[in-house]
Amino acid sequence: TKNTEEIFQLNNIFYLNYKVKNHTLTLNNNIAFISKTGQEELLNKGKQDLKYELTSKNLNIRFLIQNLYDIDKKIKNRYTTGVGVSYSVFDNKSVNIGITIQREKENVLTGDDKLQNRLNSNILFNRKIKKSMQITLKNSYQPNLDGFGDFRWISNLSVRMHLSTQFLLSINTNFNYDSEPEIGIPETDYQLINSISYSF
C-alpha cells in the first residue's frame, strides 16, 4: 500500500455463505495486520459484514450490518446498517446496478463522533474470458444525504486466473477517495493485492 508511507500488510479473511433456495446469508470477516516502515508496533484494521439477500431472477433485495475499524485513518469504529436493491441488467449477470440506503455511526480517535445517512450507488461489470480468466470492475459512489459535498468513491478491479483445477491467481487493485477525511489523512489511497488460492 502506498499512501503517506510505505506499508506491508498481511490479510486474514474468513467467508461463510449459506443458501436455501432464493435466500442467502453471508458472513465475512477481513482483518489486516500492518507493519509501517520505522515503526515496531503492528497496526490492525478490519471489517466484519453480515448480509441477508433475497433473490428473484435478476432482482436482489438485501439487508446488511457492518463494523469497520481503521486506526491508520483514525477510525476507531464505524457501525453501518443498510437496506438496498440491485438489478442484473442481463441474464448472465455481467452488469449489475444497485442502490443502498445506509446509516452510519462513526467513532473517531480525535474529534466528535459522527452519525450520517449515506446513499450507496454502485455498478458492477463482470466478464469471463474463456474458462480460465475472469475480470470484475466495481465502482461505488457514497454521498452523505445531509451534504453532497461529503462523499466517498471506491473502485475495485479484480483479475482472477485459474492456473490449474486447484490453483487460482488473483490480482486486485483498490482505489479509495474520501472528500472529508480526518485531519492529517490524505483524501486518496490505493492498494495492490496479489494472492494465490488452493482449493481441495
Q: State mean pLDDT over 181-192.
A: 87
How does pLDDT run across 99-109, given as a tens digit for each residue?
A: 999 999 999 88
How does pLDDT run across 139-173, given as a tens digit for each residue?
A: 999 999 988 789 999 999 999 999 888 899 999 99
Cα→Cα distances 31→13, 117, 170, Å? 6, 25, 18
- Give me the residue label for grid cell 455463505: 17
Question: Could you tell me how far CA 196 lies from the centroid of its own chain?
Answer: 19
How does pLDDT run across 32-75, given as a tens digit for each residue?
A: 877 776 666 667 788 999 999 999 888 999 999 999 988 778 88
> For position 1, what pLDDT does the model report?
55
pTM for this predicted structure: 0.81
Question: Could you tell me how far CA 175 lies from the centroid of its own chain?
Answer: 11
How does pLDDT run across 11-21, given as a tens digit for each residue?
A: 788 889 999 99
